[in-house]
Amino acid sequence: MMLHVPEVLTKAQVSELRALIDAAPWVDGNVTSGAQSALAKRNEQLPEDGEAARRGAEAVQDALARSRLFVSAALPQKVYPPLFNRYAGGQTFGLHVDNAIRQSRHGDIRIRTDLSATLFLSEPDDYDGGELTVEDTYGAHQVKLPAGDLILYPSTSLHSVEPVTRGTRVASFMWIQSMVRDDARRALLFDMDVSIQRLAMQLGQGEASVVALTGTYHNLLRMWAEV
């Protein structure tokens, strides 16, 4: 399941974050790549250990935790500290898959990558190209979102970033280990949660059928969640 999560960050929060990271020193993006993706990757990245990256990652993680839509769709157990990259002057990231396991350099963080996410930090008008292309069973989807919006997609998907031919594309990217590993089960729980919220709006949170459906949702989550 691919999901567009709008306004994870407000425009003011995007500006604040950009001021922080734009002023920091960037390095070649291949510092985080596996051997296969290193071949395809041409971009720049903010060093993980730097002060700007740490503070930026915290800001993004706080925003993710506040996003009801993100939490409902991802059912996050662990989020790898968000990283930052940028593309300019024809830079690109060719077709690849993300590594199954992501481990920090010091080994203190290790997650199974169930979901990948890109949080756009440049406005679409500020650059040409740079679409995130994600392939799933329904074909290839090209994604280019307003600054502050996020796209969530299964880490098993083949994906790429089109060459940026004008301007600069800045983004944060991250991997999520979900409490519910199976994509189909997670999608079902998300659909159910969305329907329950809609029914609760119409009928009231305490209405008997809403309470019963909420119970069913939690029973499914109890059966499927690995915590």
Binding interface with Ni ion (CB under 5 A): 98
**Residue 175: CB minimum distance to Ni ion, A:** 9
Closer CB to Ni ion, 41 or 186, in the complex: 41
**Residue 34: CB minimum distance to Ni ion, A:** 10
DSSP code string of the chain: --EEETTSS-HHHHHHHHHHHHTS--EEGGGG--HHHHHHEE-EE--TTSHHHHHHHHHHHHHHHH-HHHHHHH-EEEEPPPEEEEEETT-EEEEE---SEEE-TTSS-EEE--EEEEEE-S-GGGEEE--EEEEETTEEEEE---TT-EEEEETTSEEEE--EEEEEEEEEEEEEEESS--HHHHHHHHHHHHHHHHHHHHH-TT-HHHHHHHHHHHHHHHHH---
**Residue 215: CB minimum distance to Ni ion, A:** 38
Please give the Cα distance from 115 to 134 (Å, whole number).
Answer: 12
Closer CB to Ni ion, 98 or 114, in the complex: 98
Closer CB to Ni ion, 10 or 36, in the complex: 36
Closer CB to Ni ion, 151 or 196, in the complex: 151
Closer CB to Ni ion, 94 or 224, in the complex: 94
**Residue 68: CB minimum distance to Ni ion, A:** 26
153 token code pair: 């997609």
Q: Give the Cα-Cα-Cα angle 150, 152, 158 (nearest 5 degrees).
A: 125
**Residue 148: CB minimum distance to Ni ion, A:** 21
Closer CB to Ni ion, 130 or 189, in the complex: 130
**Residue 151: CB minimum distance to Ni ion, A:** 12
